[in-house]
Amino acid sequence: MLQTNFCKIELQNPLVLASGILGTSIDLLKRVEFNGAGAVTTKSIGPIEREGHNNPTVVEIENGLYNAVGLPTPGYLNMNDEFKRWNEIKVPLIASIYGSSIGDYVKITEHLQKYKPDIIELNISCPNKDDGMVFGSSASLTKELISKVKAVSEIPIMPKLTPNCSNIVEIALACETAGADAICAINTVQKEISHPKLNAPLLSYGKGGISGPIIKEIALEKVKEIRDVVEIPILGVGGITTGKDAIEMLKAGATLIGIGSGVYFRGMDIFKKVADEMKKIMQKEGIKSINELK
Ligand SMILES: Cc1cc2nc3c(=O)[nH]c(=O)nc-3n(C[C@H](O)[C@H](O)[C@H](O)COP(=O)(O)O)c2cc1C
């Protein structure tokens, strides 16, 4: 009922662990697999060791999370022991990467080829690093980046887009023209939130990105906008915590559904819960396969 296909990859269900929520540890990814995820995404892997921001980096807000973790990473050259264990994950694995230059993305993509992730996700949309959204805000840079990465990769390439840009449609079109195999949308929505009484920023970085139910409508709207202009499949992320949300995301035009903050709100077994809720809704509506929802 929930089986699907994305970039010629078979998935038991369309529910994907979103990047960053549970790090890169294989043991955590295995637990997510055990709890029913159709695929898992690693935390974004960067070019060189980076500590990320000081605490507080993640706080709960009404209907969501507010974070500026700052992309901590050991650096890809220090992670081979972890990459070697990727084959222990039996569901498709999406490797998320980021860089400060086109050269960074190309080098990491080349390095990852031998570890055979199923998809490489290009994080060009992080609002919590000074240059995190440079690529995702410019159609010409996005196009150049994707064509150079595609030239060195036999693995499907999926850029992850930011809603914090003036025209996401233009960026999505640039992705498709440059040969991207799929699009992931959206990353967190940038905000500057202060403590109401202290009149000081809630997070040490001063600003951050919001996620969870509070951004669901924005995510659905962006996915619809992208769906209207591109043919390539979309992994829709943002605010999905229930089966009803997941079906809305499919109806908006996504083929796969990412779940991030939902793990915090409903636990690691959110994937099983959402899959069961989806099946119940589909049975009630007489829908036999999620392909009918497209
Ligand atoms: C604590 C935290 C860390 C995140 N780290 C990353 C990351 O490393 N790379 C990335 O592309 N997105 C990262 N994200 C964004 C999520 O993958 C997702 O796009 C966003 O949270 C919206 O989905 P959600 O509402 O289901 O959480 C992070 C989000 C949170 C809350």
pLDDT, position 36:
97
Res 294 pLDDT > 80 = no
pLDDT at 197 over 80: yes
pLDDT at 129: 78
Cα(248) to ligand 1 centroid in Å equals 20
Q: In angstroms, what is the span from residue 5 Cα to ligand 1's centroid? A: 23
How many A from CA of 101 to the centre of ligand 1?
Answer: 21
In this predicted model, what pLDDT tens digit does every residue of 25-49 receive, in sequence order? Answer: 899 999 999 999 999 999 999 999 9
**Ligand 1, residues at Cβ distance < 6 Å:** 18-21, 43-44, 58, 65, 67, 69, 71, 96, 123, 160, 187-188, 211-212, 215, 237-240, 258-262
Q: Which of 88-102, 133-147, 177-191, 242-256 has the lowest mean pLDDT?
A: 133-147
> What's the pLDDT at 239?
98
Atom number of ligand 1 nearest to Cα 186: 19
Measured CA to CA, the distance from residue 31 to residue 21 in angstroms comes to 13
Residue 196 confidence class, pLDDT cut points 50, 70, 90: confident
Predicted local confidence at residue 106, as pLDDT:
98
Ligand 1 pocket test target in 15, 19, 183 with most atoms within 8 Å of CB: 19
Measured at the CA of 171, the angle between CA 167 and CA 172, to 5 degrees, comes to 110
Q: What residues are labeled active site?
A: 126
| Mean pLDDT for all residues in the chain | 95
Closest ligand 1 atom number to CA of residue 240: 26
The amino acid occupying position 260 is: G
Which tens digits make up the pLDDT trace of 234-281?
Answer: 999 999 999 999 999 999 999 999 999 999 999 999 999 999 999 999
The stretch 278-290 carries a mean pLDDT of 96
List pLDDT tens digits, range 44-75: 999 999 999 999 999 999 999 999 998 999 99
Residue nearest to atom 4 of ligand 1 (CA): 20
